[in-house]
Chain A
Amino acid sequence: MSLRTDRLPVSRVNIVLVSAFVVGGLVTLVLGHVLQAAGLFLAGAGGLHCALWARRPTARDVTRLNALEWRDERDRRLGKDALSVVGATALALSVVELVVVSILALDAALWLAWVQVLVLGTVWGVSNSVAVRRG
Chain B
Amino acid sequence: MKSKVRELRQAAGLSQGALGEAVGVSRQTINALETGRYDPSLTLAARLARHFGSTIEEIFDVVED
Contacts and interface: CB of A to CB of B under 8 A. Distances in A.
Interface stretch (B1-9, B25-33, B50-58): B25-33
A74 B33 CA distance: 10
Nearest to B38: A74
A107 interface: no
Contact of A74 (B17, B29, B43): B29
Contacts of A61: 26, 28-29
B14 interface: no
A125 to B, nearest CB: 27
A84 B16 CA distance: 30
Contacts of A57: 17
A75 B40 CA distance: 12
Nearest to B25: A72
B10 interface: no
A57 B16 CA distance: 13
Nearest to B31: A61
18 contacts: A60-B28, A61-B29, A71-B26, A72-B24, A72-B25, A72-B26, A72-B29, A73-B25, A73-B40, A73-B41, A73-B43, A73-B44, A74-B25, A74-B26, A74-B28, A74-B38, A75-B26, A75-B29
Interface of B: 17, 24-26, 28-29, 32, 38, 40-41, 43-44
